[in-house]
Structure 1
């Protein structure tokens, strides 16, 4: 498969983390390219390395071998500050467990990354994104006053507000019931369509994986099969 405009490129990428009995090998020699605008699903059993691979792509974990290139830049040699700037300027990340700031309202949670990036219209853009996920009337509510589905919608709005080139989602529907999970799934693909972002997601949900352009199965820290269309 050719990739005319690669956004993410991993070559021989490996991840080893320290454990009580010595290093633990998490990922082994991953070769993977994601094209601009593509939707990629990472699937596999628990412990197969899906989330760790996503963390490598986002610079949240550092490869112990090989290279990870994002938008042409090799992440492996960057400082933590430089990695944070890459995420701030180019990525939106959605986690299973929301990671909202409990002392901030929904509007403030969404506006914070925009303020950090120096956008003068941070609160206007935050309000717009909350409206896009159906939460215009909940902007002044705190996370503790919102349901799990509403909190995940705030997290989606926060990830989308900076108009990222890359959206990374780790089990975005994992903590939600079927109805809320379906709504979040529709919103996630809607964000991709609105902003033209490349979307990479980890999921156990077959219906979510089936909506991706491509599915990559992992097992024991390796790509299990040649990646094929969903």
Structure 2
């Protein structure tokens, strides 16, 4: 039996606010298999984004255990987590998070350089080309539309060829046309790098393309509303290959 690419066991998250300590996630048990496309849905405030942040080591679990690629994220230092993400994970946010003083090419290449890649700019150019922005490589974020900025963010996330791709409402700040284009690019980048894709979304059309969908309610997994995997990762890959022929 293969080990899940992500495994959460009794994962809890509590944050301190002005009104005191708030319990965000309550004892989450979840396994994600390699090659899955998992959609996280639920009402605002249900804990979707917080769960995604735990999976990426961007938030510290208050209790429980989180393993990614067989590594226990809950015991890693902040530096170790940053190194792990740079090698194995790509993260796409709703609000792009591009550096305004860097060009599109520099935004994509900089994380690769920090990870020690000697071909950082060549890989960055290739990723910008893959999202249709080779001609905008020397432009700054302020010179690009929202859809173009999200394409740069996708290129940056996929450039390290991550095994796990996390996306938090990747179409949330875009209109329908740009949102659909980002959806298509997100899935094509997943296929190109063979990544496991986990995303938070409110978009029914995006959730419908996932092999499994999980709903959260008040920080709990709603086990009654889970959609089981439609195919195994191997079958999914075979289907994609046949469709491309």
TM-score (ref. length: structure 2): 0.91
Match of 2:227 in 1: 228
Match of 2:64 in 1: 66
Match of 2:191 in 1: 193
Match of 2:26 in 1: 28
Match of 1:100 in 2: 98
Mapped partners of 1:110, 1:170: distance in 2: 18
Partner SS, residue 158 of structure 1: helix
| Dislocated runs of 4+, deviation >2 Å | none
Partner SS, residue 210 of structure 2: coil
5+ residue gaps in structure 2?
231-245
Pick the aligned partner of 2:174 from 173, 176, 201.
176
Mapped partners of 1:157, 1:148: distance in 2: 14
Deviation at 1:137, TM superposition (A): 0.4
Mapped partners of 1:84, 1:127: distance in 2: 24
Mapped partners of 2:84, 2:56: distance in 1: 9
Mean CA deviation greater in 220-229 or 51-60: 220-229
Mapped partners of 2:87, 2:2: distance in 1: 23
Mapped partners of 1:171, 1:221: distance in 2: 18
Partner SS, residue 228 of structure 1: coil
Match of 1:89 in 2: 87
RMSD: 1.0
Partner SS, residue 121 of structure 2: helix
Deviation at 1:5, TM superposition (A): 3.6
Match of 2:233 in 1: none
TM-score (ref. length: structure 1): 0.97
5+ residue gaps in structure 1?
none
Match of 2:211 in 1: 213
Given the alignment of the two structures, is residue 202 of structure 1 paired with residue 168 of structure 2, yes or no? no
* Matched residues, number: 228
Pick the aligned partner of 1:9 from 7, 10, 23.
7
Q: Per-residue CA shift, 1:92-128, capped at 9, x if unaligned?
A: 0000000000000000000011100111110000000
Pick the aligned partner of 1:166 from 157, 164, 167.
164
Deviation at 1:19, TM superposition (A): 1.3
Mapped partners of 2:50, 2:208: distance in 1: 22
Pick the aligned partner of 1:152 from 135, 150, 153.
150
Match of 1:19 in 2: 17
Mapped partners of 2:134, 2:190: distance in 1: 20
Pick the aligned partner of 2:131 from 111, 118, 133.
133
Mapped partners of 2:41, 2:4: distance in 1: 21
Match of 2:44 in 1: 46
